[in-house]
Structure 1
Amino acid sequence: MTLLGIEEEFLLVDQDALFPVAPTKHQTAALQHIAVAGGQATLEWLRCQIEHASAVLGDTQTATEALLAFRQELAAVTRQFNIAAVPVGAAPRIDGRGATISDADRYLQLAELAPGIAADQYINGMHVHVTIPNPEAGVQALNGLRPWLPLLTALSANSPFWQGRDSGFASWRTIHYRRWMVSGMPPYFQDFEDYTRRVEALLASDVVTDHGGICWLARLSHRHPTIEVRACDVQLQVSDAVVLAALIRGLVSAAVDQPPRSQPQVELLDVSLWQAAKFGLTGRLLDPFSGTPYPAKKLVWQAFQHALPYIEAFGDDELVRAGLELLLAEGTGATRQRAVYQCEGIPGVLRYAAEASTARHRRLPDTHETRTSTSSSDDAGHPSGLAS
């Protein structure tokens, strides 16, 4: 059986000032003790971040309940400290005092190496692990997944704001992350021996100190028998996170079974990733094989059809189809953040994101643009406060 693991990163903000906040040692200890459905809370790069690593998940229903339970417990714990955990891909604003790095040797070492990058690494992703039968199959999955990575970034775009204003990108996190030494699109590998040789060459450099410093959008896990897909922003809601994870599992499974029919040129994939980060689903994306621009909707359903036999085998076809239809009809997290911003500014964005985080069903922004279309929905909510 092909299993899943999902990691989500959250930004911690003060409920009153609405700026990122570093918890005290006591508060940090309480956050790290959150353990729900076999998952674990851990420190992230910055002290104003927390990460949830789920248990091994066999099906999407279990994944939904596990992620939702963690988010609800996280909200309950942080509320005691007048803090909210917000699932946004980039901090909409920071207070200018600079980041406080977590007390982990690896993070401190990287901060010393690249202080200009470390100073504003306020970004949050979602990483999806999918089990692979063996390393050779993992390399084949990496090669086959490469053409779809920009589309996954477009589907998951949830970081439009930076430094108090619109960045002009649907996924600013993607652009921000490109500054690190090994990031972006993974190269094409001949086999696992080739993969190992090239990773070892990177580790022998003066700047890549461990396997964690190899930050391609997809890589083989050094600790688990999985391929780790890192192309996604953290999601506003659990429902979107699970739909993306199910699609990723289908695409990985298809890549394991079916060698790619062709390999897109690396420069084409790179510009396609930039385009996905810029427009999300609102514009056109490059067809990864022909290089021709197509409406995003066309490529979404192309990817779905490619993975459909495997998605059906996992029993996820209705969930993924409905989830993709919602994303195309109602917009990604970036679209929803921008809708709130038009009426309520950055504070409203943070309030909406915090409330949406623990909602079981889709919560659209209660703005002038969406009020009519969602007035009959029980799930339409108003971003009235961080704590509810």
Structure 2
Amino acid sequence: MMRLVTRWLLRACCVWCGVGVLLWVPLPGEVGTPARACGIGFSVTMVADGQPALAYPQSPDQAGTPIGVFALDSVAQIPIHFTEDVSRLPTPINVGAFTWHWDFGDGSRALGYALTHTYQSPGTYVIHVKVTQGTQQDLAALSDFDSAQVTVVPQRLSQPPTATARSSARYVQVMHAVTYSVTTARAFDGSPLTYTWNFGDNTTATGSTVTHTFTQVGDGDVALIVQDGRGTRSVVTLPVTIVAEVPVVHVTASTRQLAGAGAVTFDASGSTAPASYPNNRIARYQWDFGDGTTMLTISPRVSHTFSAPGSYTVTVAALDRRDIPGTGTLTVTVANPPLVTALWWLSVVLISGSVLYLTALLLRRWWSQRHAPIA
């Protein structure tokens, strides 16, 4: 499954990458390819005109398959700026210490970490990047550091579709499902839209709402590719972090039923952080009381006053030292106030000097000229 340079097996720092590819980072002074690129994980990503390549929707270890693919088309005879985003590597590298070899798939080659290339003709091209350091090496014998497929068109169509999207969770526990959905979408030409989701782990799905389960830990973006009837595309990205464990949240309330407006005390002190992370603990709590009120606290105990009748879903996110949240919810119901409370000591002054008193549902009336109350 994995294409690896075996001579690095004993002398490199190894980091697991979310698409099932091992990412190799040489130790200081070592010589060779510093990394394999991929989508979700501790990865590097090819970038064209500020657009990151998405993970190719099948295993990049299949023969001839690029690691990434650019969802947006480039235009022939217009320069494209290429570089590699190495910001997600767990250990920063000095990009200037390596020689970056680019093969643009159209017979052109160039050296450099960041550079510009112009495709003269429309078509589909696969860009290959290889990296060397120090001594001369046989490029043909080296595996790609990165590769990505780019589509070049004669001209770019105006007014691409627009869309927004959301996910059910920003932080996801491995092997737990997360739902992605389109919230708004518009095609300027009025044509039907298609939705393709790229999860960064070499898998895709189609539809306005999809569910996905990540099988590896990592960090990256899930991309929604929206295409109209003309073939014009737009890309919306949603960040995602997949972790092995999240905090376990236990929250209690002093009461879940209120007869009217009143305060409730919540206690999340029973929440725990994953012990697999060194010196981990719950660092803070984010509260959402379901009535438009939110609060950030260090203390696990908080009090909140509900002022209107209704049913409120209270959510607390307990964040550990990694800033990874676990969530817990409970419901608080506030009843309508009893009628006797609403009418208590309510008085209405009427014409002709009469006064109506409504006290404890008893209607009394008397005239102002020394008449005794009449029940």
Fold conserved between structures, TM > 0.5:
no
More helix by share: 1
TM-score by length of 1: 0.25
**TM-score normalized by the length of structure 2:** 0.25
Q: Taking CA–CA contacts closer than 8 Å with sequence separation of 6 or more, which of the two structures ends up with the larger relative contact order? A: 1
